[in-house]
Amino acid sequence: MTGLSALPFDGTLAARLARPGDAAEGVRLWWLGQAGFVLAMAGYRIVIDPYLSDSLAAKYRGKRFEHDRMMPAPVTVAELGPVDLVLVTHAHTDHMDAETLAPLARLNPDCRFVVPRAVRDAAMERIGIAADRLFEVDAGDRIEPLPGLTVTAIRAAHETLERSPEGWHRFLGYVLRAGDVSLYHSGDTIPFAGLVEELAPHAPDLVLLPVNGRRPELTAAGIAGNLHLEEACRLARDIGAADLIAHHYGMFAFNTADPRDIDARIEAADCGTRLHRAKLSVDYRLTK
């Protein structure tokens, strides 16, 4: 039976990541804030959508929706340690941040990056790498970027199923599989017709879903939204995922979810799957 355990730890995430890995079987995960995660999977260190700078605060200072951090970055780029692979779900800066990804690429010259084909040019510019370090994917593509690890690209709608002029999807999620364990990171998405049918055959054991929702005033200002908590629960339940980690909250005050609402759903045990709230200083372990 698949199980996700959440084990709080003392000290810093940097110290935790510096310890020898023990994820030859299963997966270990650590939250970086917003949609960012570090994974130890199949013997590799994988990073998804890291936002570890304060670049958006500088960009939007004095604007209507300031982007000051509600939480400090839990690690520096250097403290991530040796990184084998980075997955980027789309080109919004809190997911594809030049001030995070460019130094990460310099510090890890053998690291490669999985990005939506629709945003390849932005990825090359922001990361500062040549095309030979990219895995460019579109929805439905399945790749093996590292031996023993497969990544399948899934459509995402943030808040629409937006495509490039070539027809490539600008927003993606990813199913990662190693051995008999799999997880799904949706990127930023709302529910849309066909998502359950597209995702269910992959049978992810764990889903990592945003729960900051969407608000008309933000949508009108061009700030796309995400799943509400109830929608995240429904999606996890409909595809049969055993565990859901709710994330994408607590970074920007104008666009967050109340952690008390997530905790209330956990306490009520009425999500339809095992619900967990993403927390810093927690070691998540997924095993079968």
Q: Mean pLDDT by 10-residue block, N- to C-terminus, for the chain (288 residues)? A: 86 91 76 98 96 95 93 97 97 98 98 98 97 97 98 96 97 96 97 97 97 93 94 98 98 96 97 97 92
pTM attached to this predicted model: 0.97
H or E element at residue 233:
helix 229-238
- pLDDT of 2 reads 63
User: In the chain, what are the domain boundaries?
Assistant: 3-282
CB 11: neighbour CB atoms within 10 A?
8
The full length of the chain comes to 288
Question: What pLDDT does 191 receive?
Answer: 97
Q: What share of the chain is helix, strand, coil (3-state, %, to 5)?
A: 25, 30, 45
Please answer whether residues 198 and 142 qualify as being in contact, where contact means their C-beta atoms are separated by less than 8 angstroms: no
* Distance of alpha carbon 195 from alpha carbon 197, whole angstroms: 5
Residue 104 C-alpha from the chain's centroid:
17
| Confidence (pLDDT) at 3 | 86
Please state which of the four CATH numbers 3.60.20.30, 2.40.40.20, 3.20.20.210, 3.60.15.10 is assigned to the domain occupying 3-282: 3.60.15.10
> Residue 118 has what pLDDT?
98
Cα–Cα distance for residue pair 30/23, rounded to 1 Å: 13
Q: Are 36 and 207 in contact (CB under 8 A)?
A: no
